Structure 1
Amino acid sequence: MITDKHFAEFITQAQRVGKERLQLCSSGNISWRVEEDLALISGTGSWLPRITENKIAACRISDGMPVQGVKPSMESSFHLGVLRTRKDVNVVLHFQSQYATVVSCMKDKPTNFNVIAEVPCYCGREISIVDYHRPGSPELAKAVTTALTNNDTALLSKHGQVVCGKDFDDAFQKAVFFELACQIIVNAGAGNYLTLTEQEVDDLDKYILGKTSK
C-alpha cells in the first residue's frame, strides 16, 4: 500500500536531483520500488526539483500498468525493465548533468572512466555505453534494461545517463561521482588524463570494498 509517507519521501528525493544539479526542467525522471511489484515514478513532463504529489505515478513493475496517479514518465519502460531485471536495486535515476551529457555527445567517447577511485568503487568498474534511440521508444527501453543488467551506470549517446541503486543515496552517489569523472575528462581534454590501472582497481576491491574482482 502506498502511503503519504511514501509520497513525501519520493518528493524529497526527487527534489535532490535539482539540488545536486543533475538535470534541467523536465529532462530527468526517477523511480522507486516501494513494494515487490509496485513502484512510484515521476509523471510525464514533471520537473523533479519542484514535483508535487499530483505529478507522481504508481505502476505495477511486472506489467507496467498504472494503478494510481498520473501518466508515468515516457521513460517508465526502462525504469520498470531495470526494476524487473535487477531485484537487488530499488531506485532508477535518469538524469542529464552537464559534463556527463557533454561526454554522451562526443564522437569518440572514453572507454575507461576510472579517473578517480570513486568511479570503480561506486559507479562500477565498467560504464555501459548505449547507442542513440529515440527517447521513450521501446528500443531505448530494451537497450537500457540490457545495459544495466550487469552494470549500474549507463551513458546514453546524445541523450543522458541512467544509474540504479539499492536506495536513493546509492543512486545519487553514483550519479554525482559519474558527473565528477566526466568533468575531469572534459576539462583535461582528449588523451590528457590518467585512469586507474587494473591492479589499482583490484586493490580498491580488496582493501576498500572487501571483495575480490571478477
Structure 2
Amino acid sequence: MTDQNLADSELRRQIVVLSKSLFDRGYSAGSAGNISVRVEGGFLMTPTNSSLGRLESDQLSELNERGEHVAGPKPSKEVVMHQAMYRARPESAAIVHLHSTYVTAISCLRDEDAIPPLTPYFVMRLGREVPTVPYYKPGSDAILDDIVAAGKRGPAVILANHGSIVAGSTLEEAVNASEELEASAQLAFLLEGRRARPLTESQIDELLT
C-alpha cells in the first residue's frame, strides 16, 4: 500500500469515528448533517441519506476537485455548500455541516450576530463573529454566493432555519469548532434576557493576535 493510500485509509477511518461521535452525542439526527475532507485530487464526502452514526469507511462518496461525483455512493445533495466554503477558505481541509439543536434554534430566531463572543474559546476557534446567511432550500445552488461571502469572514457560518457549516485545517479542527459553536449557542440561550458580559473588543483583539 502506498503512502497516499495509507493516508486516504486513515482519513476514511477518521470520518467514520468522528461522525459517529457527533451522532452519538446528539449533534445530528437520522440522516441529517454531512462531512467532507480534502484528499489528493478531490474530496471524500458522506453519502446522501446516510446517517453520521452508521457510516462505513469503504462507502464514502468520492468527488474530483470540481466537486463532481466520480466514485462510490452518490454524495449529499448539499455538496454545493461545501464547495462554496472551500472556495471561501481555500486553506481548509475539512468541512462539517450539522443540524445541532441550539445552533439550529438560534438560526430560527436571529439573523446577524446570533451568538455573542462570550468565551475565549469561541473567539479562538470561531473568530470574532459567526455570520448568518438567509434560508435556502437544502441543496439549492442559490446559496453559493452568500456562503462564499460569509465564509470569508470566518470559519463558521449559521444557515437560517437550517443549522451550521464549519471549516477547519483538519477534520478534527472542524469537528472541534462545530462543537464549540453548539456549546456557545447553548450558552447564549441560557443567558437570554440576562445581563450577560460578552468579551470586549480589546479582549477579542488580544486573543486574535
Q: CA deviation at 1:10?
A: 2.2
Q: Which residue of 1 aligns with 2:202?
A: 199
Q: Which residue of 2 aligns with 1:100?
A: 103
Question: Structure 2 counterpart of 1:171, which letter?
Answer: A
Q: Which residue of 2 aligns with 1:79?
A: 82
Task: Verify the 8 A CA contact 2:111 2:133 in the aligned structure 1.
Answer: no
Q: Which residue of 1 aligns with 2:142?
A: 139
Instruction: Show structure 1 runs of 5+ residues with no match.
Output: 206-210
Backbone CA RMSD of aligned residues: 2.0
Q: CA deviation at 1:90?
A: 0.4
Question: Structure 1 counterpart of 2:61, which letter?
Answer: A
| 179-188 or 104-113, which deviates more | 104-113
Paired with 1:139 and 1:114, the residues of 2 have a C-alpha distance of 29
CA deviations over 1:92-144 (Å, ceiling 9, x no partner): 00001111111001046645520111111111111111011111000123322
Q: Size of the alignment, in residue pairs? A: 204
Q: CA deviation at 1:194?
A: 2.0
> Is the counterpart of residue 45 in structure 1 residue 49 in structure 2?
yes
Paired with 2:110 and 2:120, the residues of 1 have a C-alpha distance of 26
Q: Which residue of 2 aligns with 1:16?
A: 21
Relative to structure 1, is the Cα distance of residues 190 and 110 closer, same or farther in structure 2, using a 3 angstrom cutoff? Answer: farther
Paired with 2:112 and 2:90, the residues of 1 have a C-alpha distance of 30
Task: Verify the 8 A CA contact 2:45 2:61 in the aligned structure 1.
Answer: yes
Instruction: Show structure 2 runs of 5+ residues with no match.
Output: none
SS at match of 1:40: strand
Task: Verify the 8 A CA contact 1:30 1:94 in the aligned structure 2.
Answer: yes
Q: Which residue of 2 aligns with 1:66?
A: 69
CA deviations over 1:56-105 (Å, ceiling 9, x no partner): 100012x2211110110011112123224422110100001111111001
Task: Verify the 8 A CA contact 1:29 1:42 in the aligned structure 2.
Answer: yes
| 17-26 or 171-180, which deviates more | 17-26
Q: Which residue of 2 aligns with 1:32?
A: 37
Paired with 1:46 and 1:193, the residues of 2 have a C-alpha distance of 39
Question: Structure 1 counterpart of 2:55, which letter?
Answer: I
Report the TM-score when normalising by structure 2. Answer: 0.89
Q: Percent identity, aligned pairs only? A: 25
Paired with 2:156 and 2:148, the residues of 1 have a C-alpha distance of 11
